[in-house]
């Protein structure tokens, strides 16, 4: 993983939108008085949803809101890789998993497509629409190789799938998310291979429970 630093070019200021501020207040109210700092992660996320990324002025604004030292919010923002510290694509933020199962199943091909179509990793595309990066395991290894694009998982991908997905986002479409093979979520391709007997689920295989002799109902 690369070193996480704030972007060199920063906006002059940041302001919470009305909607973001209302949601932030909702999170703050969840915690007891004096513990508002616990809302730092959800508020960083709200700010990222508002701006697309987390800027230095936004970090300062969050710290002021939660009465925290600036450095504490900066520490959180730079620690968690879900927080983007520089502007990302207006159409798609593509995070390709590069951990072993995905690498063994073709993540390198997906990254090549991203590199060819978007540019070097962690760089905004020339048109400002796309940004891609390699990330660590996203917990969907059984559907490898996969990528998280904006807020959703796209799984069982091939290079051709990734090309199509980029085309779709570029055209303003919403490509289908989830597995790209014949499976539901992380079930086997073509359907389940075990526990397929319907008796397992309709109750007909259940043995009647024998009442133990001389037992009294249990009371509290």
Let me know the angle formed at the C-alpha of 170 by 112 and 95, rounded to the nearest 5 degrees. 45
Our measurement of the distance from residue 81's CA atom to the centroid of its chain's CA atoms, rounded to an integer in Å, reads 10
CB-wise, 23 or 183, nearer to ligand FES? 183
Question: Contacts with ligand FES in 175-204 (CB under 6 A)?
Answer: none
For residues 113 and 166, the answer to whether their CB atoms sit within 8 Å is yes
User: Which residue stretch of 37-45, 135-143, 164-172, 211-219 sits at the interface with ligand FES (rule: CB under 6 A)?
Assistant: 135-143
CB-wise, 131 or 154, nearer to ligand FES? 154
User: Which residue stretch of 85-93, 97-105, 125-133, 160-168 sits at the interface with ligand FES (rule: CB under 6 A)?
Assistant: 97-105
CB-wise, 54 or 140, nearer to ligand FES? 140
Q: HSE of 37 in the Cβ direction (CA atoms, 13 Å)?
A: 13
- The DSSP secondary-structure symbol of 160 reads H
For residues 123 and 131, the answer to whether their CB atoms sit within 8 Å is yes
Q: How many CB atoms lie within 10 A of CB 165?
A: 23
Report whether the peptide linkage leading into residue 208 is cis, meaning its omega lies within 30 degrees of zero. Answer: no
- Provide, rounded to whole angstroms, the least separation between the CB of residue 1 and ligand FES: 14
- Provide, rounded to whole angstroms, the least separation between the CB of residue 195 and ligand FES: 24
Q: How many CB atoms lie within 10 A of CB 55?
A: 25
Give the total of residues touching ligand FES (CB under 6 A).
11
Nearest to 47 by CA among 73, 71, 72, 29: 73
- Provide, rounded to whole angstroms, the least separation between the CB of residue 186 and ligand FES: 11
Residue 69 parent element (H or E): none
Looking at 68, 102, 149, 162, which residue binds ligand FES (CB under 6 A)?
102
Q: Does 6 bind ligand FES (CB under 6 A)?
A: no
Q: Does 99 bind ligand FES (CB under 6 A)?
A: yes
Q: Does 111 bind ligand FES (CB under 6 A)?
A: no
Build a one-symbol-per-residue string for 144-163: x at contacts with ligand FES by CB under 6 A, - elsewhere.
x-x-----------------
Q: HSE of 66 in the Cβ direction (CA atoms, 13 Å)?
A: 29
Residues that bind ligand FES (CB under 6 A): 97, 99, 101-102, 137-141, 144, 146
């Amino acid at each position: 993983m690369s070193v996480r630093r704030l972007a060199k070019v920063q906006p002059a200021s940041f302001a919470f939108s009305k909607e973001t501020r209302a949601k932030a207040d909702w999170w703050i109210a969840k915690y007891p008085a004096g513990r508002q700092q616990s809302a730092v992660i959800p508020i960083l996320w709200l700010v990222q949803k508002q701006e697309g990324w987390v800027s230095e002025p936004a970090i300062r604004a969050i710290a002021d809101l939660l009465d925290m030292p600036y450095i504490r919010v900066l520490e959180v923002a730079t620690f968690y890789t879900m927080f983007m510290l520089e502007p990302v694509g207006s159409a798609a933020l593509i995070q390709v998993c590069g951990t072993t199962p995905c690498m063994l199943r073709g993540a390198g091909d997906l990254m090549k497509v991203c590199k060819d179509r978007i540019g070097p990793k962690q760089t905004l595309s020339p048109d400002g629409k796309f940004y891609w990066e390699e990330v660590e395991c996203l917990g969907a290894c059984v559907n490898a190789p996969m990528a998280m694009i904006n807020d959703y998982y796209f799984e069982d991908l091939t290079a051709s799938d990734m090309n199509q997905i980029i085309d779709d986002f570029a055209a303003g479409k919403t490509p289908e998310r989830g597995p790209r093979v014949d499976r539901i979520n992380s079930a086997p391709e073509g359907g389940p291979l075990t526990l397929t007997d319907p008796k397992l689920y309709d109750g007909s295989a259940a043995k009647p429970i024998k009442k133990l002799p001389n037992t009294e109902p249990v009371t509290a």
